[in-house]
Amino acid sequence: MGRMFGTDGVRGVANVDVTAELAVDLAVAAAHVLAEQGAFRGHRPKAVVGRDPRASGEFLSAATVAGLASAGVDVHDAGVLPTPAIAHLTAHTGADLGVMLSASHNPMPDNGIKFFSRGGHKLPDAVEDAIEKRLREKWDRPTGDRVGRIRTYDRGGQDYVEHLLRALPHRLEGLHVVLDAAHGAASVVGPQVFEQAGAKVTVIGASPDGLNINDGFGSTHLEPLQEAVQQHQADLGVAFDGDADRCLAVDAAGQKVDGDQIMAILALDLKERGVLAHDTLVATVMSNLGMMQAMEREGITVQQTAVGDRYVLEGMRQGGFALGGEQSGHVILLDHGTTGDGVLTGLVLAARVASSGKPLADLAAVMTRLPQIMINVKDVDKHRVDSHAAVQDAVRGAESALAGIGRVLLRKSGTEPVVRVMVEADTADRATQVAEELAGVVRRELALGDPA
């Protein structure tokens, strides 16, 4: 069996993979590991727990809270709030641990459990591994006044909104913004903070009933937002995902503005304000070449990482950088938060529109998105892709053909016998042609069962 913790906590079908029993056990094991590492020394341990609106989050958060309290941890139950809100509140309250119950943009039947350490940071792999090893062990249970106490954290949403408003570089008066909350965790605080920032707000996808999260709304389904922006003649639209750790935008004409374009706009904004640390943006290898070219023109360095927000964050913290993110709209503003925050990203993007007086479409035009073609080549020996002479010769040939006008990227899937062939070029036809040729070589040379 593989590692229980993925890149974003433990995730699976609620009540099948992610059960109440597992939630209790993980909470207890996390308390024990942190206690052993000295995290609770000299004080009563404290945790902040939150969830997105999924029906299963009700019993999973109850189980998590029960597990923590049974292990002697006092719990602030913050209820339904975005993932970045729980990260912030963990730091804000001086808690030793934060727990978020969410499966982000996944469909409603899924759920997940994600832990934050003191300060609102994701737990290191070694700590997650230690928690996994301690599941269901025998332990001495606290009694009497040593059991944890449970309190509702009523001010959690308000504290988070105040934090976002403090990070706002320019108020939003005069802007009409449509927000799509994906019937998710930002359904209340998203509209609240945009209104308090001065915008006229039209809200869609903000009626969570426990069953409709991400269902036809949010950053994975932009059509309702595109329609609403045009129908209401708004200046822009912002769509969150289920736990609001990411966002995508839509300009006044209903055109999508993706994570690369958002990062390019924010990088220029931060540079202009003198707060883009080392004039550097951190992005993954999947970010569009058009963004890289635009940043180079503007004197901004792009540091590339492996795919995954954890690698972006790692690169940012190691280099002391302020801005990073992914094409998916998962953007990290490290001066204001420890994790991707869709509400904060949307606010800062809207503030740039307001302060510049330029439409979002004009700001997004700083970069030209090159056509990007992705082909998943299945049933191949992905582990030989980096060392196979014929494959690497084909890659070098493609790179040479695209010199100055495009690029090639071959990536192994983390979970399947699949090699992903990604090609960018000046035209979609050229990108498709090169991608198909490369995919053919990969399929032929790395077919499973062939000799090495």
Using CA atoms, how far residue 430 sits from 147, 360, 406, 407, in Å, is 65, 29, 9, 11
Distance CA 303, CA 318 (A): 12
pLDDT at 1: 46
54 with 210: CB under 8 angstroms? yes
Q: Are strands 323-325 and 301-305 parallel, antiparallel or unpaired?
A: unpaired
List pLDDT tens digits, range 116-170. 999 999 998 899 999 999 999 999 999 999 999 999 999 999 999 999 999 999 9
Cβ(107)–Cβ(211) below 8 Å = no
CATH topology of domain 372-445: TATA-Binding Protein (3.30.310)
Q: Is 30 helix (H, G, I), strand (E, B) or coil?
A: helix
Contact between residue 407 and residue 289 where contact means Cβ atoms under 8 Å apart:
yes
List, for residues 169-178, the tens digit of each pLDDT value.
999 999 999 9
Q: Hey, is 440 helix, strand or coil?
A: helix
DSSP states of 273-328 as a string? Answer: TT-SGGGEEEEETTS-HHHHHHHHHTT-EEEEE-SSHHHHHHHHHHHT-SEEE-TT
Q: Mean of the pLDDT values across residues 290-298?
A: 96
Task: Clarify whether 400 is annotated catalytic.
Answer: no
More confident residue, 415 or 213: 213
3-class secondary structure, 423: strand
Confidence of residue 450 (pLDDT cuts 50, 70, 90): low
pLDDT at 2 > cutoff 70: no
Residues 111, 104: Cα–Cα separation, whole Å: 8
- Catalytic annotation, pick one of 104, 219, 287, 328: 104
Name the superfamily (CATH) of residues 164-364: Alpha-D-Glucose-1,6-Bisphosphate, subunit A, domain 3 (3.40.120.10)
Does 10-155 match 164-364 in CATH topology?
yes
Checking if the pLDDT of 50 tops 90, the result is yes
Q: Among residues 103, 98, 76, which one has the least CA distance to residue 9?
A: 103
* 207 assigned to a ligand binding site: no
pLDDT digits (tens, 9 = 90+) for 341-373: 999 999 999 999 999 999 999 999 999 999 999
* Local confidence band at 7 (pLDDT 50, 70, 90 cut-offs): confident
- pLDDT digits over 253-269, tens only? 999 999 999 999 999 99
How confident is the model at residue 452, as a pLDDT? 46
> Is 104 annotated as ligand-binding?
yes
How do residues 83-94 score in pLDDT, each as one tens digit? Answer: 999 999 999 999
* Annotated binding residue 8: no
Number of Cβ atoms within 10 Å of the Cβ of 255: 15
> What's the confidence (pLDDT) of residue 9?
87
Q: Check whether 56 is labelled as a binding-site residue.
A: no
- Nearest CA among 379, 430, 381, 378 for reference residue 404: 430
Domain extents in the chain: 10-155, 164-364, 372-445
Residue 186, pLDDT above cutoff 50 = yes
pLDDT for the residue numbered 321: 98
**Cα–Cα distances in angstroms (integers) from residue 349 to residues 185, 257, 344, in the given order:** 20, 11, 8
Report which of 33, 65, 61 is spatially closest to residue 46, judged by C-alpha positions.
65
For 395-448, how does the pLDDT look when each residue is reduced to its tens digit (9 = 90+)?
999 999 999 899 999 988 877 889 999 999 999 999 999 999 999 999 999 998
Class of domain 10-155: alpha beta
Which sign, positive or negative, has the C-alpha torsion 232, 238, 244, 247?
positive
pLDDT digits (tens, 9 = 90+) for 375-396: 999 999 999 999 999 999 999 9
Q: Which residues contact 316 (CB under 8 A, 6 or more apart)?
A: 282, 322, 323, 324, 332, 334
